[in-house]
Amino acid sequence: MKKRLFTILIASLTASVLFGCSSTDFANMENSGNASQGLSDENGKDNSNDAESLDDASSEESLATIDDESTALISSMEYSFAAMDLFDELMADPGTEELDDDQVETLKNGVSDFTGVNFYGTWNRTFVAMGMDADITIEEGEDSTCVVNGYFDHYGHMGDIEDATGYFLSENMMFAIDEECDTVYLFRVAGESMEVRQKGFGCMGGNVSSIGTYVMGEPEYLNAHDIDFAFTEEELSAIKELLDENGLDYEDYFENAILLGVFETSEGEAMFSDGTVVSGRWYTSYAPHGITRNLEMFIAFDGTIYMKSGYNPMTETEYYTSDPKAPGMPDKVEEAE
């Protein structure tokens, strides 16, 4: 398709040149004849050859100018297509490997003077867990560029983009270069969302990246309703009561532990130190980087709550239960495979 576009462009330019030359030739022929006649009448001799030489030189100069302009235009389009082709390849690649100098140069050669209006604003990463929250702000810069800033989280490990310069390839394609951290960020707007990829690890903590889908406004978190789905209203009331009795913060010990960690539930059995086995449901939430609390909770089918809470590593934990007679936190009975 692109080759065909080049062919059409070259044909169009050629036709324009030929048409322009023919018009000039006709005009020059008429003017040349009048000028020659005047010179011959006045001086008694024919100077038409000199006039023709001037016309030929002017025509050749015009052709050279048009040829240079068309060559520059074609080269510019070639650079633009090459940059967009590379951009598409990199967007399809989920890896974060750094780009080599040739790839960066290819992208830079395709830079255009688009206004970037589709990109300006604050974007929030969506369709991720709350522990992977992120936002990117893109503002207008100087000389057809933009300025990119971002904040990224991975369960308590942080990363950022600080004042990276962004360049536009089209009205919906843009890349930004973080010189300090040797990273290139790629942005594509489609409808009301923006896809982001990064090449290089950037100024990020462990497992942190900018990769994802972003929207303006409120994002959708995949685990936003985990608590509502996992617990009944009666169970939530009992958990709040247990925490209040022990002077504990419900958000810190329960909500954040679940929503900002990796949360799992399962039905099974629990065994106490005295050998007693009880059936119920297990609820565990693991904080990968230890910023929020780890939570391990067992709720027996009779409604009794057993809860263990602590930070990574789980060397020191706190134990709470609604059964004061319980011999301690039970262990999970693993099912035989």
Q: For the chain, give the mean pLDDT.
A: 83
Residues 6+ apart with CB under 8 A from 110: 79, 80, 81, 82, 83, 84, 87, 169
What pLDDT is stored for residue 155 in this prediction? Answer: 92
Taking the domains of the chain in order of start, what are their residue ranges? 2-91, 101-215, 226-333
Cβ distance 135 to 191 under 8 Å? no
What pLDDT is stored for residue 13 in this prediction? Answer: 41
CATH 2.60.40 given to domain 101-215: no
What pLDDT is stored for residue 71 in this prediction? Answer: 59
Question: pLDDT tens for residues 240-280?
Answer: 999 999 999 999 999 999 999 999 999 999 999 999 999 99
What pLDDT is stored for residue 57 in this prediction? Answer: 54
CA separation for the pair 179, 188 (Å, rounded): 21
Question: pLDDT tens for residues 93-118?
Answer: 988 899 999 999 999 999 999 889 99
Question: pLDDT tens for residues 176-198?
Answer: 999 989 999 999 999 999 999 99
- Three-point CA angle 137, 81, 124, nearest 5°: 15
Residue type, 141: G
